[in-house]
Homo-oligomer: A and B are copies of this chain.
Amino acid sequence: MFSDDLRSVDGLVAAQRSGSRRALARIITHIENGSAFAQPLIVALYPDSGRGHIIGVTGAPGTGKSTLVNAMALAYRQRGFMVGIVAVDPTSPFSGGALLGDRVRMRDLAGDPGIFIRSMATRGSLGGLAQATADAVLVLDAAGFDRILIETVGVGQSEVEIASTAHTTVVVEAPGLGDEVQAIKAGILEIADVFAVNKADREGADRSVTALRMMLSLGVPDKHQVMHHGRMLPITLPPHDPDPSAWMPPIHKTVATQNQGVVELVDAVESHRLYLEQSGTRQVRDRLRAATELRMILRDVLLHRVLDHTPTAALDALVTAVANRQLDPYSAVRQLLGAV
What residues make up the interface of A, taking CB atoms closer than 8 Å to B?
39, 42-43, 46-47, 49-50, 60-62, 65-66, 89-95, 97, 99-101, 122-126, 128-129, 153, 155-161, 164, 177-178, 180-181, 183-184, 186-191, 226, 229-231, 233-236, 283, 286-287, 289-291, 293-295, 297-299, 301-303, 306-307, 312, 315-316, 318-320, 322-325, 328-333, 336-337
Contact = CB atoms under 8 A, between A and B. Distances in A.
Contacts of A47: 325, 328
Contacts of A316: 235-236
Contacts of A295: 303
Contacts of A90: 155-157, 160, 184, 187
24 contacts: A43-B328, A46-B328, A46-B329, A49-B325, A91-B155, A91-B183, A91-B184, A94-B190, A95-B187, A95-B190, A101-B183, A125-B230, A155-B159, A156-B156, A156-B157, A157-B159, A158-B158, A233-B307, A233-B315, A235-B312, A236-B316, A290-B319, A293-B322, A299-B299
A129 B155 contact: no
Given A160-B91, A336-B298, A153 B62 contact: no
A61 B323 contact: no
A12 to B, nearest CB: 16
B329 A293 contact: yes
A36 B164 CA distance: 29
Contacts of A190: 94-95
B294 A303 contact: no
- SS of A interface (majority): helix
Given A42-B328, A231-B126, A297-B329, A94 B178 contact: no
A285 to B, nearest CB: 9
Contacts of A229: 124
Nearest to A51: B325
A231 B94 CA distance: 11
